Homo-oligomer: A and B are copies of this chain.
Amino acid sequence: MAIANKNIIFVAGLGGIGLDTSREIVKSGPKNLVILDRIENPTAIAELKAINPKVTVTFYPYDVTVPVAETTKLLKTIFAKLKTVDLLINGAGILDDHQIERTIAVNFTGTVNTTTAIMEFWDKRKGGPGGVIANICSVTGFNAIYQVPVYSASKAAALSFTNSLARLAPITGVTAYSINPGITRTPLVHKFNSWLDVEPRVGELLLEHPTQTTLECAQNFVKAIEANQNGAIWQLDLGRLISVEWTKHWDSHI
């Protein structure tokens, strides 16, 4: 999918990985980039607008933990303005295993609810045009950072959900793939709580091993958007972009 002239909604487009990705997206010249994030950041929005004045960058405050009806209301406003939306990026995430309920609500339920809400506008069974969903999951959904078992599990859930979405594409018309960054040097990683403080130095320890920058991650993110492969499980780690083959242990046969 060429980004040029497309309409894109980016949830958490001002976040640690989000902001650099928004910058890269804007460079590729979409028609609209609609950023939804919890906290407004007028400086960042102004910077994005300046990168490519031909792109319409807009911002709406959005907390992914709101009830799905509120998300629907916001999407109604956005669809009314843009008419069509080509790509939804779900990127909201927190990393703090002291906050069990909030981790699950943001990283897992938030992704499911935002997706569920947009189906009303996209689902081909309702006469919708279909669409594309890129969910930011994590390599910790493949294999956990076991010191943050709740975070890792919430990402395993987001990944599984995304894989299912892709298989539902023939029914819904909505394709999906997951973006799974490895350890990326964002403020998130420097200091965070492990579950029951099993490892107080987990952030430090992670950063003693090879990592990648948010820019490397963002550039590969844009490549994955351009590849536009339904069902792809993209691993964005150490500056590389790899397509992961999921192991089949079991098959529902339906």
Chain A contact residues, CB within 8 Å of chain B: 68, 100-101, 104, 108-109, 112-113, 116, 119, 123, 139-147, 149-150, 152-161, 163-165, 167-168, 171-172, 182-183, 195-196, 198-199, 202, 205-206, 208-209, 235, 237, 244, 246-254
For A248, give the chain B residue with the smallest CB separation: B143
Q: How far, in whole Å, are A156 and B247 apart by their CA atoms in the complex?
A: 13
From the candidates B165, B198, B244, name the one contacting A172 in the complex (CB within 8 A).
B198
Chain B proximity of A103: nearest CB distance (Å)? 9
| Residue contact B160 to A112, C-beta cutoff 8 Å | no
* A251 CA to B78 CA, complexed, in Å: 40
B109 touches A101 (CB 8 A): yes
- The distance in angstroms between the C-alpha atoms of A252 and B116, with both chains bound, is 32
CA distance A155 to B171 in the complex (A): 23
Alpha-carbon gap, A143 to B248, bound state (A): 7
Contact status B142-A249, CB under 8 Å: yes
Alpha-carbon distance between A57 and B101 when the two chains are bound, in angstroms: 32
- Select which of B112, B163, B206, B208 is within 8 A of A146 by beta carbon: B163
Report which residue of A101, A161, A182, A237 has the largest number of chain B beta carbons within 10 angstroms of its beta carbon: A161
Given contacts A104-B109, A172-B196, 16 further A-B contacts (CB under 8 A): A68-B100, A108-B153, A139-B250, A143-B246, A143-B249, A146-B165, A149-B168, A153-B156, A153-B157, A168-B195, A183-B252, A199-B254, A202-B254, A206-B252, A209-B252, A209-B254
